[in-house]
Each structure stands twice: as structure tokens, then as C-alpha cells.
Amino acid sequence: MKSKLLCGGIGMMAVGAVLVVMYFTSGPKPGVGNLSVRVVAKEKVITGAYKTYGIKDAPLPMWLAKTIFHNGATERITELKVRYRVPEYADWSSWHDYVAVDPDQTVVDLYYPIFTSSCAKLTSRAPAELQMQTEYVDGAGKKHQASETRQIWMLDRHEFIFSDLTSEERTASFQDENTYAPLLAAWVSRGDDVVSRLASIANKKAGGLGAASNDESCIKVMASLYEIMRTIHISYQHPPALIDASLSYDIKLVQSLQYPRDTIQKRSGTCIDLAILYAAMLNSVDIQPYLVVIDGHCFPMARTPSGKLIGVEATGVGDGYAKSMGFVQAVESATKTWQKVVPSGRVVLVDLRQDWTSGIPNPELEPLPPNILEEWGIMALVDTPANGTVVPAVTPPTTVPPAPLPEVPQPAPGPPAPTVVIEGRWAYSLTALNGRVVNGQLDVRRYRGGLRMIATASYPMQGRDGMMHRFREKNYFQGLMQGQNVVAVCNSAAYTMDGVRVPSQGLPLRLYLVLGDGGRTMQGRVSNSMGMNVPIRMLKK
């Protein structure tokens, strides 16, 4: 049988960006077989981010299952249809239709479930069943129907995992261990009255300043937000399950995250809980918030009106009493941590506002009475004059040493680190889904503090008509360099066959690369929104 390859290069062959349908070379199959069906499902559903699963263009491709169909028959299969549901949590999806599946052809279908709000009410882990139904017509005109099920787990609304990649899929990149880090945005409440009221009180204590007007006012309000966490005795709680006191969480374990209101009520939380609360209060007073995720730790960061990034070590609240850090100390501590981790590249900066607007919204939370802060005893602490028991209010400083912008700082002491020049032309080589090696080039230049990259390739390939064609592709990436790591996204691409434009699918493409050999090589993976993920290597020309 003739080889029928219809995809190639970094966007086409590697990750199926042009067609969901892929062709593979193989020998003749004996007899007339049926369509083979294989369902792959993710084991856990993060219900706190349940809305993101149904958004195909979200920052993360949150498909729950994929069904791989392969026509091992000698005749064409037609009218292939497939649909899915998760009883109690997601109704039947619409039918996904495929007009025809030729012999030796493989089709990969992805399921993005639209979950109901009942997911946000789960307070304990629950088993669920993923159901798939399919039907098709074989070459003899006979209609077939089939179904499969997979057991999955609905995590409770507080549970969180940092990555769903298997050990085989992960590279040495820190980002592979934190693929789900942007989903933390779902826990940072934007419109919770409890958070807004507490942040408003802190803003008034700072003099009712407009935090977005200038850096001085912004820093004063940031200090007041931190001080009110100390005033109401919010304390840092180290997870008792972790033996290593230097870690605030273990990336390999399921994390139990609190929403900001929970931390206010309990007046304690892990590093992530405290960072989430502080970030939510920042946003409430119109200060742009971020979360910094590093090995075993998380802290909040703010962008001032002038564009400076200022980190705050939220665990500095300590025990909520005399052992806690002042605001200036908390900023200095976060600054030292930031300067240490940026050169290593083992850091993810979560842009909360960007993630909220691009597909990671908050789940619904139960309404609380207007006087809930009084019921929780919060207002009694806020209104109590300073004495020997309550941490006295601290006058917010007018100046605070700002954390550096996300650029690699020079290490000290010792000789300066060699400058890595990433700009220029790179030759890339990737291994496509069918094992074929594809070569191309990547042109890199810096642009407005980030990177602009264009990946191009040209290659001959056999089309569905059995003839050889010339394929060309151009993929436009935008990204960031964080230490030795490069992370980039492609939302725009141009593909042609024999000079004729062909459509692009599967965008966005994502590149995760790690620099090596003093900046002469890069390696990592490239993936797309359809769940494809293949290795790629680059060499500086």
C-alpha cells in the first residue's frame, strides 16, 4: 500500500496543525477488519477549574479524553461519529462527524467537556465514568455502533495538581512539572465581597490612595494589605505531611488549596494559600497581581504603574504575631528568592489577569452574609487599638527596594556569568509522530522584553492523491526567556502545498526549550491544542 502522509514540519507533520487526520505507512492488512477504537482519558478532573475544560482556546488545552480511530480494513469507512459524556457532571456532547476514513488512516478526536456548576460544589473526591459512543458505516454499507467507558476521578473543589504529563512525556524543563500552574488563577477570587471588603479596609488605612496612580501610592497600599494580614493574625502553616521544612508543597502530590475567603476565615494557610489571598486583595484595589511558582514554594508579585515587579514573601506573616516579618523584610526576602531562581529558569510567573480573561475563570462560591467579617471576628481585630497582644499597625514605607524586572541578574560573588546570545538563526530537528525526522530553521530576535521567533521548513511529501508535493510552512512564535528556559506560543501560521495556501488547525502551538552547551543548543518539546506532543532539538548556526 502506498504511503499517505499529509502533515510535515514543526506545525504540520509534528503536531497535526493542518489536519486532525494523520496517515502512516504500513503494509497490507489481511482481510477486511473493523475500525479499531482506543480511548485515552485523563485520570483526574480539577473541578476548581471546571470551566476551563470547555474552552478550546484556553491558555491550556484541557481536553479530558481523546479517541484514536484506525481503519485497518481494506475499504473506506464513512459517516464516523463520536460523542461523550460524564453522567452527573457533563451532558452528551454534540456528535463529532468525520465524512470518511480511508484504509490505513488514523483519526484522533478530542473531547473538551462542558461541565455543570455541580463540580464547584464537590467537597470530597468522587468517582465518575467517562462514556464514549461511536458509530460508522463500513465498506459494505453496514452500520456499526460501539461504546467504551473509563473511570475517572472528580477532585474536590480544593484539590489541585501541578502537571498531568507522564514521566515519559516530561523533559528536563521545570515547566513540564508545572503545566497546570496557570490554573491557580481559578483560585484567586476576583469578585468575592469578603476579599474586596478586607482589601478596602487596608486601602483606607493607607489613606485611601489610588494604587494605580503612581508607584509611591501603589507601594503604600501593598504595605497596608500585608499589614492587615498581620493585624488579623493570619499565620503561615507548613503542610504537616511534608518532612522537608524547606518545601511548602510537594509537586508530586495533590495539593489542597484554599480560596481567599477560606484563608481569611481560618486565619492560616500554606504558602500558596497566602499568596492567593494577597494576590486577590491586590487585584481588588486595582494592582496587577501575579503568582511566582518555584520548586516547592509560591509567593505573590505585583506590577506597579511604572511597570516594576515587586514580590512579597507572604509567608512572612509567620505566626501572625511577634515572629512575623515587616513588609520591607517580606519584600527583601521575595527579591532575594527571585534573583536566585531567575537564572536557573526554574520559575513560572502566572499572569492572573491574562489567565482570567483568556479562559481560566473562577468557580462559583456560596454567597456569604454581609456581616461575615464580624461573625468571623475579623472586624474586632481590625478595630482593636494596638496593644501587647495585637500586632500594631505599621506606617507604610514611602520607598521599598523594588524587585528586578524579569531579566537574568548577574550572579555575585564570583566572575560574571557568560552572556547567552539567543538571537540569530537556529537549525531545528524534530521527530514526527510517525518517527520521521524533519529539519527546519528558527530565527530568533528580542522584542519588547520578550522574543519573536519564526520557524520555517520546506520538504517534499506525498499527498492523499498519491503524488509528491512541496510543502512549506512558517510559524510565528512569541515567547519569553527565563534563565535557561524558553517558553513560546504560536497563534499565527502560514502553510502552503505547491504554493497554494492550506488551512492551519491545532493552534496555538507551544514550545518548551532548555538551553545547553553554553547557549549553543536547545532541546525540549513542541505541542498543540489537539494534545500532540513531540521532541525537538536545535543547534545555533
Name the average pLDDT for the chain. 82
- Hey, is 388 helix, strand or coil? coil
What pLDDT does 11 receive?
Answer: 64
Cα 295 to the chain's mean position, in Å?
16
Give dist(CA 492, CA 532) in Å, integer.
18
Look up the CATH superfamily of 26-157: Immunoglobulins (2.60.40.10)
| Among the listed residues 21, 129, 25, 10, the one whose alpha carbon sits nearest the alpha carbon of residue 80 | 21
Q: Quick one: cell of 133?
A: 459512543
* Span 45-70, pLDDT tens digits: 999 999 999 887 777 778 999 999 99
Average pLDDT over residues 441-468: 81
Burial class (CB in 10 A: 0-12, 13-18, 19+), 500: exposed
Better-scored residue on pLDDT, 212 or 165 = 212
What pLDDT does 388 receive?
Answer: 38
Q: Is the distance from CB of 443 to CB of 453 less than 8 angstroms?
A: yes
What pLDDT does 273 receive?
Answer: 96
Q: How confident is the model at residue 342 (pLDDT cuts 50, 70, 90)?
A: confident
Question: Quick check: do 179-362 and 424-540 share a fold?
Answer: no
Q: How confident is the model at residue 465 (pLDDT cuts 50, 70, 90)?
A: low
* Span 20-44, pLDDT tens digits: 333 333 333 333 347 899 999 999 9
Q: How confident is the model at residue 124 (pLDDT cuts 50, 70, 90)?
A: very high
Q: Is the distance from CB of 230 to CB of 324 less than 8 angstroms?
A: yes
Q: How confident is the model at residue 461 (pLDDT cuts 50, 70, 90)?
A: confident
Give dist(CA 473, CA 452) in Å, integer.
17
Q: Quick one: cell of 139?
A: 465498506
Better-scored residue on pLDDT, 233 or 465 = 233
The DSSP-derived string for 170-210 is --S-GGGGGTTGGGGGGGS-SS-HHHHHHHHHHHHHTTS--
What pLDDT does 261 receive?
Answer: 97
Give dist(CA 331, CA 127) in Å, integer.
43
Better-scored residue on pLDDT, 33 or 334 = 334
What pLDDT does 168 receive?
Answer: 63
Q: Measure CA of the first residue to CA of the last residue in the chain; give whole Å.
A: 40
What pLDDT does 393 receive?
Answer: 40
Q: How confident is the model at residue 95 (pLDDT cuts 50, 70, 90)?
A: very high
Which of 6-10, 17-21, 193-197 is most confident?
A: 193-197
Burial class (CB in 10 A: 0-12, 13-18, 19+), 252: exposed
Q: How confident is the model at residue 1 (pLDDT cuts 50, 70, 90)?
A: very low
**Domains in the chain: boundaries:** 26-157, 179-362, 424-540
Q: How confident is the model at residue 481 (pLDDT cuts 50, 70, 90)?
A: confident
Other beta carbons within 10 angstroms of residue 53's beta carbon come to 25
The verdict on domain 424-540 having CATH code 2.40.128.120 is yes
User: Based on C-alpha coordinates, what's the Rg of the chain?
Assistant: 26
Average pLDDT over residues 110-124: 94
- Over 70: is that where the pLDDT of 161 sits? yes
In this predicted structure, which of 47-61, 306-320, 339-353, 500-514 has the lowest mean pLDDT? 500-514
What pLDDT does 516 receive?
Answer: 81
Structurally, at CATH architecture level, domain 179-362 sits in Roll (3.10)
CA angle 429, 66, 168 (to 5 degrees): 45
Q: Which amino acid is at 190?
A: R
The DSSP-derived string for 12-60 is IITT-SS-SEEE---PPPSS-PPEEEEEEE-SEE-GGGGGGGG-TTSSS
Which of 81-90, 233-242, 314-323 is most confident?
A: 81-90
Give dist(CA 237, CA 220) in Å, integer.
26
